Amino acid sequence: MPFPYSLAIFDLDGTLVDSAADIAESVNRTLRDWKLPTYDTAQITEWIGEGSRKLITYAFRHAGSDADIDDVMPGFLVHYAETALDAVAYDGVVETLTTLHAQGVKVAVCTNKNEEFVKPLLDARGMLPFVDGIVGGNTLPERKPSGVPLRYLAERAGVSIAETLMVGDSESDVLAARDAGMDFVLVSYGYRKSLDLHATGALAVIDRMPDLLTIQPAATTRG
């Protein structure tokens, strides 16, 4: 069955790759640098999804530090780079991207991770040959939950919003898709925090990425 969209835009962390443990390690290395308490992966996962600066801000404030985040970020980004390629692809992700590519579907990645970390990770996990466009958290003036990055990727691909699907795992992805006016699918295995996936209006909630290949667009027009 042909995929019903011409462009699929994927979130990265929690959707294509499991990076929680690696991100947690970079956060904890930074906290140790500042002689602050460290946290387990489950706690740090709750802070993932809004970009590196928000992530480390949440960690430092939780640790009771009022350090200037501008002073913290350079060291954090060093540690982030040290662990950035350790993330692993979720089951069936590479195969799904391969199938979409073979069908002529364009694929893009929209993440709040800084852009310089995205391409090397996609390359390391065998996904880069299938990706036509990338927007990171520092690519444009706005990031998710704004719909600007999604509309930008659709425009760059020459694909209408109606023919574009967003695939993600978090509230930022939901809000961005709504703002862009496009259909979206959510994965059940990501970093959803307290988000009720089934109450978001998602076209589907899938348990494995290959399930994406069987989805069908909504019969009704988006509002």
**Could you report the per-residue pLDDT of 123-139, keeping only the tens digit for each?**
999 999 999 999 999 99
Query: Which position among 11, 18, 169, 183 bears the catalytic label?
Result: 11
User: Rounded CA gap, 130 and 165, in Å?
Assistant: 16
Task: Categorize the per-residue pLDDT at 221 as very low, low, confident or very high, splitting at 50, 70 and 90.
Answer: very low
Cα 118 to Cα 50: distance, rounded to the nearest angstrom:
15
11 included as an active-site residue: yes
Q: Give residue-wise pLDDT tens across range 41-52.
A: 999 999 998 889
Encoding tokens for residue 146? 């704004």
Query: Which H or E run contains 54?
Result: helix 52-62
Question: What is the predicted pLDDT for the residue at 51?
Answer: 85
- Rounded CA-CA distance 71/83 in Å is 20
Averaged confidence pLDDT in the chain: 95
Q: 109 near 135, Cβ under 8 Å?
A: yes
Mean pLDDT of 107-116: 96
Residue 201 pLDDT > 90, yes or no?
yes
